[in-house]
Amino acid sequence: MKKFLVSIVCMAGVALLAACGTTLGSAEASAERAAAVKQALADRNFKIDVNFMYPMRGSSRNLTSEYSLEVRNDSLFSHLPYMGEARNLPYGGGVGLNFDEHISSYVQQQQKGDEYLIEIGVKNTEDVYVYTIRVFDNGRSSIDVRSRLRDPISYSGELNF
C-alpha cells in the first residue's frame, strides 16, 4: 500500500512539473511573439491578414484569406473589400480600398501595456484615406478606415510574419 501511495505522489509531481513547463513555454512563446511584433512595427515592415469586416451599415462579414493590408517602409498595400455608401466616385465604383500607394503620414505610438496605435495617411487618385491600426503583442489587429468619399469601415485580423 505504501508503494502505491508513493507512486501516486510521484506521478502527481511529474504531472505538476509538466504543467509548469507548459506554462513557462507558453510565456516564453508569448514573449518571443511580442518581440517579433515590436520589431516588425519598428521596421515598418508588416502584413495583416484580414479575416473579418465591420461595415458602418449592415452586418459584419467573415472574409477569406485573400484580403490583407501591408506596410513596407514608405508604401501601403491595401487589398480590402468595401461595403458602404460611397459618394462622388468614378463610374463603376473606382478602385475602392484596393491600391498600392506611397504613405503621406505615419505616426506610431505604444499605448498602455501590449497595444500599439498606428495612424497612416495615404492619398490615391480617387480619395484621401486615414488608416488607424491597433496591433497587440499577440499579433491580433484591428483596422479602421476613414475617407472623404466613403463611409467608415473596420476590419480585424492577424499580423503575419
How does pLDDT run across 106-157, given as a tens digit for each residue?
A: 999 998 888 999 999 999 988 999 999 999 999 999 999 999 989 999 999 9
Strand ranges (DSSP E) for the chain? 45-55, 61-62, 68-72, 75-80, 97-110, 115-123, 128-136, 140-147, 153-160
Enter the C-alpha cell of residue 62: 467573415
Domains, the chain, with CATH or none: 39-160 (2.40.128.410)
pLDDT class for 35, splitting at 50, 70, 90? very high
Question: Residue 98 is which amino acid?
Answer: N
Residue with cell 505610438: 109
How many angstroms separate the Cα of 105 from the Cα of each of 52, 112, 122? 26, 23, 7
Enter the C-alpha cell of residue 76: 501601403
Condensed to tens digits (0 to 9), the pLDDT of residues 49-92 reads: 999 999 998 899 999 879 999 999 999 999 999 998 888 777 77
pLDDT above 80: residue 23 = no
pLDDT class for 25, splitting at 50, 70, 90? low
pLDDT, residue 84, reads 87
